[in-house]
Amino acid sequence: MNSFVKYFLSFFIIAFNTVNSQKLVLNLEECVLLAYQKNISIMQSELQLKNSNIDLSSAKANFFPNLNASVNHAWNYGLNQNITTGIFENITTQFSSMNVNFNVDIFKGFENIRRLHRANLSVIAQQYNIEKIKDDIGLLVANSYLQVMFNKEFFKVSKEQLDITRKELERAKILLDAGLIVKGDLIDIEASLANQEQNLVQAENTLRLVKINLAQLLRLTDYENFDTADEDLDLPFTEIFNETPKSIYTKALTERNEIKLSVANLEIAETDLLLSKSRLQPSLTAFYSYSSRISYSDRLIPSGEFETVPIGKLASNSEPVVSTIEKRNVVGPMSVIDQFKLNDGHNFGLQLSIPIFNRLVVRNNIKRSNIQLESFQNQHEQIKLDLENTIYQAYNDTKASYKLYQASKKTVSARKDAFQNAQKKFESGTINSFDYAQIKQRYDSSLSDQIRAKFDYIFKLKVLEFYFGLKITI
């Protein structure tokens, strides 16, 4: 089942509960899905993933050529020659020009290839980061959910024990009337009843608080109309103890998202080092540009008519020297298309850039990248060590909590027999109310310890299964 279907089902269940019963009742899986949708850390990571996808798009675009165009129109006011009079005067002229530039990287020290590889790794790392946050949120929700279930069961047992005490009080009144017990025994039972009523109020208040904590974790505001599903939580059967801590750790190295994220960050650091070294290599770029311009001034063109004009005199006899020249007419500017064709120009070639000395900028960047790579290598080893320690600790804790739960079951069984025997003795008048109350209190305490041991074992077991790559379910 993909995430979209899970989210859809979660929203459908929430809407169904809200519309039909006005009370939102969720099981563990629905709580986890709702937390995924509303958790702010996950939302922030998803935004970072979008940024990484944009960086990936930019890295791919580095292989494309650059193409730019520019258009310019200018007014020139100042001393210029008037083409009709030939006199220099202050006049305004206008010019337009356009330019198109095209260039493409032929070789850039493999920088574009490595930048694309880094962008891909960044996207993968962000995806692992989101999954890691979801893992953490899932464990947190499961713990909070089990706290609600624990307090529900604790409240239920407290209520049942209170009902037993109330019945004992009624029987004690009958025994008092029959003269089998004294007034003090009745008072002791009444005091025990008052104490259990107080404990029930505290258990109810604690249950309400843990429900609110879970609702806040899910970012729900209607606390009163939120509840967890009533599920029969038997002690889960697991084969996880057939595994060794080492085998769980070995599998976790390939399954856990924090390991995958650490490996991705390590590869990013290695790519950053290669990127820094790329800038030591020469780069080769091909370029081409086209340009043209337009003038809006009047111009002189030949008229086809000729005239004779004196150009000087002979030194010997002062006879005039004449020359025949063609007359010119003043006309407007040429058409835009004709001027573009007449004034266009092309420029193309190759540019080779060789880094020689850049004030140690590149060399120092390489050193920084090396340091960063070593730092990520150390972090990766530390994450593996932490994971190994956590798994071994979780394995030992789970086994210990299971043994504690088995011991608590034996204690409950023994104290239940003792309590039932004490009931008979109290009704027959062979023990007093103080001894009876002490035996019942020990029985009540063993029930509480059993519930606590049971849920402690379940949660630790789920944590261990989680590290083995199993889904958290109840």
* pLDDT bracket for residue 470 (50, 70, 90): confident
The yes-or-no verdict on residue 119 having pLDDT over 70 is yes
The yes-or-no verdict on residue 165 having pLDDT over 60 is yes
What pLDDT was estimated at residue 307?
Answer: 82
Quick check: helix, strand or coil at residue 431?
Answer: coil
Name the β-bridge partners of 72.
97
Give the span between the Cα atoms of 37 and 145, in whole angstroms.
17
The yes-or-no verdict on residue 277 having pLDDT over 90 is yes
- DSSP letter string, 42-108: HHHHHHHHHHHHHHHHHHHHTTSPEEEEEEEEEEEEEEEE-TTT--EEEEEEEEEEEEEEEEEEEES
The yes-or-no verdict on residue 19 having pLDDT over 70 is no
Of 164, 220, 218, 238, nearest to 420 (Cα)? Answer: 164
Looking at every residue in the chain, the average pLDDT score rounds to: 88
Mean pLDDT of 276-288: 94
29 within a domain of the structure (yes/no): no
Mean pLDDT of 430-457: 89
Structure tokens that stand for 19 in this block? 């519309």
The yes-or-no verdict on residue 353 having pLDDT over 90 is yes
Give the span between the Cα atoms of 115 and 268, in whole angstroms.
10
Structure tokens that stand for 404 in this block? 């504690």
Q: Total structural domains in the chain?
A: 1
Question: Radius of gyration over alpha carbons of the chain, in Å?
Answer: 45
What pLDDT was estimated at residue 236?
Answer: 61
289 within a domain of the structure (yes/no): no
174 within a domain of the structure (yes/no): no
- Range of 5-9, 86-90, 164-168, 309-313 with top mean pLDDT: 164-168
pLDDT in tens, 200-249: 999 999 999 999 999 999 999 998 899 999 877 766 667 788 899 999 99
pLDDT in tens, 318-335: 788 888 887 777 788 888
- What is the CA 147 to chain-centroid distance, rounded? 27
> Domain range for residue 320?
299-332
113 within a domain of the structure (yes/no): no
463 within a domain of the structure (yes/no): no
The yes-or-no verdict on residue 49 having pLDDT over 70 is yes
236 within a domain of the structure (yes/no): no
Q: Which of 312-326, 424-438, 443-457 has the lowest mean pLDDT?
A: 312-326
* pLDDT bracket for residue 432 (50, 70, 90): confident
What pLDDT was estimated at residue 178?
Answer: 81
What pLDDT was estimated at residue 237?
Answer: 61
pLDDT in tens, 448-461: 999 999 999 999 99
The yes-or-no verdict on residue 339 having pLDDT over 60 is yes
46 within a domain of the structure (yes/no): no
- Asked if 457 and 406 count as a contact pair (C-beta separation under 8 A), the reply is no
* pLDDT bracket for residue 5 (50, 70, 90): very low
308 within a domain of the structure (yes/no): yes
| 351 sits in which H/E element | strand 345-353
Name the β-bridge partners of 321.
312
Q: Which of 21-30, 108-117, 215-224 has the lowest mean pLDDT?
A: 21-30
The yes-or-no verdict on residue 81 having pLDDT over 90 is no
